[in-house]
Amino acid sequence: MRIDVISIFPDYLAALDLSLIGKARAAGLLDLAVHDLRDFTTDRHRTVDDTPYGGGAGMVMKPEPWAQALTAVLDVGPDADADDAPLSEDAVPGSGVAADRPVLVIPSPAGEVFRQATAHELAEADHLVFACGRYEGIDERVAEWAADRFAVRPLSIGDYVLNGGEVATLAMIEAIVRLIPGVIGNPGSLTEESHADGLLEYPMYTKPASWRGRDVPDVLLSGDHGRIARWRREEQLARTAARRPDLLPPVC
Among 112, 136, 224, 234, contact with ligand JCH (rule: CB under 6 A) = 136
Is the Cβ of residue 24 or residue 37 nearer to ligand JCH in the bound state? 37
Residue 158 assigned as binding residue = yes
Rg (CA), the chain: 22
| Closest-CA residue to 4 (of 94, 84, 77) | 77
Alpha helices in the chain (DSSP H): 19-26, 63-76, 116-122, 141-146, 166-177, 225-243
Do residues 164 and 133 touch, judged by C-beta distance below 8 A?
yes
Q: Candidates 22-30, 132-140, 190-198, 201-209: pick the segment binding ligand JCH (CB under 6 A).
A: 132-140
Q: What is the pairing mode between strands 103-113 and 60-61?
A: unpaired
CA distances from 187 to 114, 171, 180, 203 (A): 22, 19, 10, 19
Q: Candidates 120-128, 152-160, 206-214, 239-247: pick the segment binding ligand JCH (CB under 6 A).
A: 152-160
> What's the first-to-final CA gap in the chain, in angstroms?
40
Q: Is 158 in the site for ligand JCH (CB under 6 A)?
A: yes
Among 7, 152, 165, 176, contact with ligand JCH (rule: CB under 6 A) = 165
Q: Specify which residues 129 forms β-bridges with.
A: 4, 104
Phi/psi zone of residue 195: left (φ > 0), alpha (ψ -120 to 50 degrees), beta?
A: left
**Chain position whose Cβ is nearest to ligand JCH:** 133
Is the Cβ of residue 162 or residue 219 nearer to ligand JCH in the bound state? 162
Cα dihedral: 172, 173, 178, 179 (round 10): 70
Do residues 24 and 183 touch, judged by C-beta distance below 8 A?
yes
Is the Cβ of residue 23 or residue 38 nearer to ligand JCH in the bound state? 38
Residue 205 assigned as binding residue = no
Residue 159 assigned as binding residue = yes
Q: Is 162 in the site for ligand JCH (CB under 6 A)?
A: yes
Least gap, CB of 139 to ligand JCH (angstroms): 12
Q: Is 112 in the site for ligand JCH (CB under 6 A)?
A: no
In total, the chain counts a number of residues equal to: 252
82 to 111, contacts with ligand JCH by CB under 6 A? 107-109
Q: Is 56 in the site for ligand JCH (CB under 6 A)?
A: no
Total residues at the site for ligand JCH (CB under 6 A)? 17
Among 22, 156, 232, 237, contact with ligand JCH (rule: CB under 6 A) = 156
Q: Which residues of 224-239 are buried (b: 16+ CB within 10 A; e: fewer)?
A: eeeebeebbeebbeeb
Is the Cβ of residue 116 or residue 156 nearer to ligand JCH in the bound state? 156
186 to 205, contacts with ligand JCH by CB under 6 A? none
Residue 8 assigned as binding residue = no
Q: Which residues bind ligand JCH (CB under 6 A)?
A: 107-109, 133-134, 136-137, 156-158, 160-165, 168
Binding site as annotated, residues: 133, 157-162
Binding site as annotated, residues for S-adenosyl-L-methionine: 133, 157-162
